Amino acid sequence: MSVVYIIHTISGQLDIWKMIEFNNVSKTYDSVKALIDITFKIEKGEMAFIMGPSGAGKSTLLKLLYLSDKADIGSVSIAGFNIATLKETSYAYLRRNIGFVFQDFKLLKNKSVYDNIALTLRIRGVMERDIKEKVYSALKMVNLRHKIDSHPLTLSGGEQQRVTIARALVGEPTVMLADEPTGNLDVGNETSIMNIFKDINAKGTTILVATHNVNLVKGTGKRALYLDNGRLVKQESI
């Protein structure tokens, strides 16, 4: 837990029960309205889906959450922090409470699976002797223990995505964000990745997955938020 986290908790700026909160958020890029007046909440420990076709605003919404961009109007909170009130120097510490999973994996191609996962901990200054144990445990959770010395390019798409999930997991995040995590995978791997997400969620981590794949969400019993042309048009459990 970072210093920023502790300070905000003490000062009362942190509401740990609202993991993700959008209040009347709008975002425009060169006169194109990417998000229009979005309001929703994701509670602690919840797993939810952001659904919608390409260009609906899913990626923009996630960008605001992983602090790659700022809302033009409205407020965004994640892991209890109101992003608008945070200084940019605190972003790094806030990101340590968030796990990221991307469609294109974003793995370091010249590093082994072990080093890719260990990077999360090395950035936080964790001692090398403690890193090994945590990396092994994260790899066990995604069932990739045997690929520890492999390099990303020698792995299949599904395996690379599992490494990405292990890298996010190893930092013990309070929130996990996934942008089209199964976009590049076949059906077998889709199911496997979704099962891993469910396991992680069952252990208490809040998860928000952006996807256009309706089949992925069907029958999960989780909440789905539908975006269309930048507007939140529907919320339902499916």
Partner 1 sequence: MFSIRLAIQSIMQEKMLNLLSVISISIGLFILSVVFLVVYNVEKLTQELPEKFAITIYLNDEASLSDKRNIENTLNSDPLVKSIDYISKESALVELKTTLKKANYIFESIDDNPLFASFIIWLNPGKFDIQTVKSFITRVKLLKGVESIESNEKLLETISSLKKGLRVSTTGILLTFVCAMIFICYSTVKILFYRHGEEIEIYKLLGATRLFIRIPFLFEGGAIGFAGGVIAALNVLFTYYFFTARFKSIIPIFSSLDIPMYSVYLIPFVGLFLGITGAAFAIGRLKY
User: What is the contact surface with partner 1 in residues (CB under 8 A)?
Assistant: 66, 89, 92-96, 100, 106-108, 110, 119-120, 122-124, 167, 171
Least gap, CB of 10 to partner 1 (angstroms): 21
- Cβ–Cβ < 8 Å for 14, 8: yes
Of 68 and 215, which has the nearer Cβ to partner 1?
A: 68
Of 93 and 136, which has the nearer Cβ to partner 1?
A: 93
Q: Cα(91)–Cα(89) distance, rounded to whole angstroms?
A: 6
Of 44 and 111, which has the nearer Cβ to partner 1?
A: 111
Least gap, CB of 186 to partner 1 (angstroms): 25
223: region left, alpha or beta (phi > 0 left; psi from -120 to 50 alpha): beta
Least gap, CB of 30 to partner 1 (angstroms): 20
Q: Cα(116)–Cα(113) distance, rounded to whole angstroms?
A: 5
Least gap, CB of 79 to partner 1 (angstroms): 12
Q: Cα(100)–Cα(179) distance, rounded to whole angstroms?
A: 8
Of 124 and 234, which has the nearer Cβ to partner 1?
A: 124
DSSP state of 175: E
Of 122 and 218, which has the nearer Cβ to partner 1?
A: 122
Burial class (CB in 10 A: 0-12, 13-18, 19+), 74: middle
3-class SS at 222? coil
Least gap, CB of 100 to partner 1 (angstroms): 5
- Cβ–Cβ < 8 Å for 18, 41: yes
